[in-house]
Structures are given as C-alpha cells and as structure tokens.
C-alpha cells in the first residue's frame, strides 16, 4: 500500500515534469492536492453562502409557490463572462469532467457541513438522450458523482427521464419558458423513491423553470422531501 502510494507519487512527479498541471483560470502551476483550479482562484469565486439558511435563501424564495422544495444549495453566483461561467462552460462544452466532479465534491462538502437532515438519494437533472449522445455525458451526472463521493449516498439516473426535446429557453418570456418545460419529465420507477429525502442536482439555476418541472414531476412520487443543489445560480 505504502509502496503503491510512493510509486504513484513518483509517476505523478515525472508526468508533472513533462506535462505540468496548470490552473485553468490563472495558468499558475497546481500543487499536488489541487485539481484543475488553484486554491487561490477557488477562494476568489463569488460564494452565495446559501447553505447557512438552506430553507430560506434567494433560490428557495425564487421557487416559492412554484414547487415544493425543502432545502436549496448553490455554491457560487453566476454572471455572464465571469469566472464561474467559464468554469461551467469548461465542464459542459469542453468536456472537463474532472472539473465537474471536483466542483461536485465542493458542493458535497458544503452540504455535509450544513445540512439540517440526511439526504438519501441524489438525482441529476436528466438530459434528453439525443443531447447526451451528442455531448457524450450529462454534466449534472458528473457533478452528482462528486457530491455522492463526499456524502456517501447513491446517485439514481433512471427514476426520472426527459421525454421531449425542448427548444432553447433563452429569448422566451417566463410564461413561454414554463410552457416549454412543463411536461418534459416522466417518472419510471417511483416505488424506490418511497419515503426518501431526494437531492436534485443541476450545474446552474437561472430562471428555475427546468428545476421547477423536475421537482413537480418527482413530487408525484411518495418521496419524503425534495431538496436541490447546483454549483451556481444566476446573480439576482
Ligand atoms: Zn488559479
């Protein structure tokens, strides 16, 4: 075991020599314990601190009256052209899954340190199969895996699925957006959700329409509660 760790360290040092790992944000060399982004850049990201009041924050207020949410978490504020958006684009469009899992772990630690209840099952917001095939992966699933690793609770990507292809949400009014996503999700096996505290995951929450549709669909099961967590939320 010790030999294995030492061997891995030596291999890491060698690969570092030829392919030094650098922070995707500032370009500085990363320390061995840093993944994709350096500690300094990570600390400079605009935190929301929503975890201090998971049942009473800007996201739970935004979703109030639209769907039943127990707790809402989001690590960072998201603004166009800023660092958090670049990180999310790195995951979604440049396929940086390592970064997705790493940010998922950060969400996991935040929840672990602050959650008022224990959650039982993590559910990533499903992508339409066509979109998943095109992208090769579902970014919410990658993030969910990072959260799962820290919270030690399983991920289920089967119980809810997407049944229609929605057109882009941008340039639509709030009502049009709601109409566009109202019936996009369906449940497959609801009995396994009975009495469970669910945690729904997405990369970012902006208007909340997709999350609202997903929560409302899952509310048709006999789950005990539904909470939501994202890496970022649109700055309000
Ligand atoms: Zn950096």
pLDDT tens-digit series, residues 167-222: 555 566 666 665 666 788 999 988 999 999 999 999 999 999 999 999 999 999 99
Do the Cβ atoms of 190 and 198 come closer than 8 Å? Answer: no
- DSSP character string of 151-201: HT--B-SSSEEE-S-PPP-TT--HHHHHHHHTT-EEES--GGGTT-EEEEE
Kindly state whether residues 182 and 144 are assigned to the same domain. Answer: yes
- Report the predicted TM-score, pTM, of the whole model to 2 decimal places: 0.85
Q: How far is the CA of 99 from the centre of ligand 1 (A)?
A: 13
Kindly state whether residues 108 and 73 are assigned to the same domain. Answer: yes
pLDDT at 106: 95
Kindly state whether residues 64 and 79 are assigned to the same domain. Answer: yes
Kindly state whether residues 90 and 186 are assigned to the same domain. Answer: yes
Q: How far is the CA of 184 from the centre of ligand 1 (A)?
A: 38
Biggest alpha carbon distance in the chain? 61
Kindly state whether residues 15 and 80 are assigned to the same domain. Answer: no
Task: Specify burial of residue 9 (Cβ count, 10 A radius: 0-12, 13-18, 19+).
Answer: exposed
Which CATH number does the domain housing residue 74 bear? 3.40.50.2020
Q: Tell me the C-alpha distance between 44 and 225, whole Å.
A: 33
pLDDT at 185: 93
Q: How far is the CA of 84 from the centre of ligand 1 (A)?
A: 13
Kindly state whether residues 49 and 156 are assigned to the same domain. Answer: yes
Q: How far is the CA of 236 from the centre of ligand 1 (A)?
A: 26
Kindly state whether residues 91 and 138 are assigned to the same domain. Answer: yes
Q: How far is the CA of 85 from the centre of ligand 1 (A)?
A: 15
Kindly state whether residues 93 and 17 are assigned to the same domain. Answer: no
Q: How far is the CA of 41 from the centre of ligand 1 (A)?
A: 4
Band (160; pLDDT cuts 50, 70, 90): very high
How large a percentage of the chain has pLDDT more than 90?
A: 69
pLDDT of 1 over the 60 cut: no
Within 13 A of 203's CA, how many CA atoms are on the CB side? Answer: 22
Q: How far is the CA of 218 from the centre of ligand 1 (A)?
A: 39
For residue range 120-145, list pLDDT tens digits in order.
999 999 998 888 888 999 999 999 99
- DSSP character string of 192-216: GGTT-EEEEEEEEESS-HHHHHHHH
Q: How far is the CA of 220 from the centre of ligand 1 (A)?
A: 44
Segments forming the whole domain that contains residue 12: 1-44
18 versus 215: the higher-pLDDT residue is 215
Task: Report helix, strand or coil for 225.
Answer: strand
Q: How far is the CA of 16 from the centre of ligand 1 (A)?
A: 17
Lowest mean pLDDT of 76-85, 146-155, 173-182, 205-214, name the range: 173-182
Q: How far is the CA of 102 from the centre of ligand 1 (A)?
A: 14
Q: How far is the CA of 233 from the centre of ligand 1 (A)?
A: 21
Q: Give bridge partners of residue 78 from the DSSP assignment.
A: 234
Q: How far is the CA of 80 from the centre of ligand 1 (A)?
A: 19
Kindly state whether residues 181 and 149 are assigned to the same domain. Answer: yes
Kindly state whether residues 102 and 154 are assigned to the same domain. Answer: yes
Q: How far is the CA of 22 from the centre of ligand 1 (A)?
A: 8
Kindly state whether residues 169 and 98 are assigned to the same domain. Answer: yes
Kindly state whether residues 37 and 56 are assigned to the same domain. Answer: no
Task: Specify burial of residue 190 (Cβ count, 10 A radius: 0-12, 13-18, 19+).
Answer: middle
Band (85; pLDDT cuts 50, 70, 90): very high
pLDDT of 2 over the 60 cut: no
Q: In the chain, how many domains are there?
A: 2
Q: How far is the CA of 45 from the centre of ligand 1 (A)?
A: 11
């Amino acid at each position: 075991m010790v030999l294995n760790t030492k061997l891995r360290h030596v291999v890491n040092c060698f690969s570092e020599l030829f392919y030094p790992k650098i922070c995707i944000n500032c370009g500085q060399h990363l320390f061995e314990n840093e993944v994709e982004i350096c500690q300094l850049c990570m600390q400079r990201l605009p935190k929301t601190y929503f975890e201090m009041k998971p049942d009473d924050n800007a996201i739970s207020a935004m979703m109030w009256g639209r769907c039943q949410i127990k707790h809402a978490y989001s690590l960072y504020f998201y603004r166009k052209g800023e660092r958090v958006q670049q990180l999310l684009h790195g995951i979604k469009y440049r396929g940086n899954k390592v970064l997705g899992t790493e940010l998922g772990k950060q969400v996991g630690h935040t929840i672990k340190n602050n959650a008022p209840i224990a959650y039982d099952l993590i559910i990533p917001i499903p992508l339409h199969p066509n979109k998943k095939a095109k992208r090769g992966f579902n970014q919410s699933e990658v993030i969910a895996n990072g959260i799962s690793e820290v919270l030690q609770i399983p991920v289920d990507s089967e119980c809810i699925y997407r049944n229609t292809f929605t057109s882009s949400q941008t340039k639509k009014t709030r009502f049009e957006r709601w109409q566009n996503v109202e019936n996009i999700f369906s449940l497959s096996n609801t009995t396994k959700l009975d009495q469970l505290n669910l945690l729904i995951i997405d990369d970012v929450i902006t208007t909340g329409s997709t999350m609202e549709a997903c929560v409302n669909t899952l509310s048709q099961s006999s789950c005990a509660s539904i909470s939501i967590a994202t890496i970022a939320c649109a700055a309000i």
